[in-house]
């Protein structure tokens, strides 16, 4: 390389370095406003703002609402409608009654057995009503039901005895 070329290179690099130092130190900055605007335009105007902040109308939302994209085919519809959710629910709490064998629900008394008990209770009540004669004649005594050829025992001393000529049913045991 020639001497003049070297001198030029040196000069250029020194100028560059000087420029970088001036930039770094901030001596190149001019204290002048970046933007000058006419007064009234710079201040915010309240009327414009209130118009801008009103809620977008309903029609603007329409473009963002959910809608089905495709028609549901009859196969898909059938699968949904005939799923277990819409069918009658299966009951697995049905069992046969131990006494009579009729079906009953686990938490409910057997209908057949209860009907027998209800009829017998109604018969006993009919007899009690006949014994009492009218309303407001309930005695202040316990009641005991005795069937055909049964005699009152030790515990039945102070009780009102309701006698019937029928045979004692097998499910109405004496305690």
Partner 1 sequence: MRLTLQMLISHGRVARKMGLGPESRLNMLRNILTGLVKHERIETTLGRADEVRFYAEKLIDYAKKGDTDTKAMKMANFWLTVLLYHRFFLLVSLSYSDPVPSTLFCFCLPDFYEYSWFFGSSSYFLFSLWFQEKDLIPKLFKVLAPRFEAQPKGYTRMARIPNRENLDKAAMAVLEYKGNPFPPLQPAKRENELTLINQLLKGYREEQAQQAAAMVESQ
- The only residue of 117, 131, 147, 150 in contact with partner 1, by rule CB under 8 A: 117
In the complex, minimum distance from the CB of residue 134 to partner 1, in angstroms, rounded to a whole number: 11
Q: Does residue 141 bind partner 1 (CB under 8 A)?
A: yes
Nearer to partner 1, 50 or 170 (CB): 170
Nearer to partner 1, 73 or 151 (CB): 151
Q: How many residues bind partner 1 (CB under 8 A)?
A: 29
d(CA 144, CA 164) in angstroms, rounded, equals 11
Cβ atoms of 96 and 104 within 8 Å: the answer is yes
Q: Does residue 172 bind partner 1 (CB under 8 A)?
A: yes
Q: Does residue 171 bind partner 1 (CB under 8 A)?
A: yes
Other C-beta atoms lying within 10 Å of the C-beta of residue 37: 9
Q: Does residue 127 bind partner 1 (CB under 8 A)?
A: no
Nearer to partner 1, 20 or 129 (CB): 129
Nearest to 56 by CA among 48, 47, 64: 64
- The only residue of 126, 142, 148, 152 in contact with partner 1, by rule CB under 8 A: 142
- The pairing of strands 160-163 and 143-146 is parallel
Tokens describing residue 8: 């030029």
Long-range contacts of 13-18 (CB under 8 A, 24+ apart): none
């Amino acid at each position: 390389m020639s001497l003049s070329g070297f001198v030029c290179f040196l000069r250029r690099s020194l100028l560059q370095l000087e420029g970088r130092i001036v930039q770094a130190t901030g001596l190149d900055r001019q204290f002048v406003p970046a933007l000058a605007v006419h007064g009234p335009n710079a201040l915010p105007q309240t009327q414009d703002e209130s118009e801008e902040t009103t809620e977008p109308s309903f029609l603007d939302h329409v473009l963002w609402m959910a809608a089905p994209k495709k028609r549901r085919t009859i196969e898909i519809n059938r699968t949904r409608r005939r799923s277990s959710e819409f069918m009658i629910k299966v009951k697995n709490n049905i069992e046969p009654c131990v006494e009579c064998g009729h079906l009953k629900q686990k938490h409910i008394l057997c209908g057949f057995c209860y009907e027998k008990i209800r009829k017998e209770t109604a018969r006993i009540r009919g007899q009690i009503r006949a014994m009492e004669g009218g309303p407001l004649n309930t005695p202040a005594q316990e009641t005991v039901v005795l069937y055909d050829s049964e005699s009152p025992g030790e515990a039945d001393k102070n009780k009102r005895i309701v006698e019937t000529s029928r045979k004692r049913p097998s499910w109405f045991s004496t305690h």
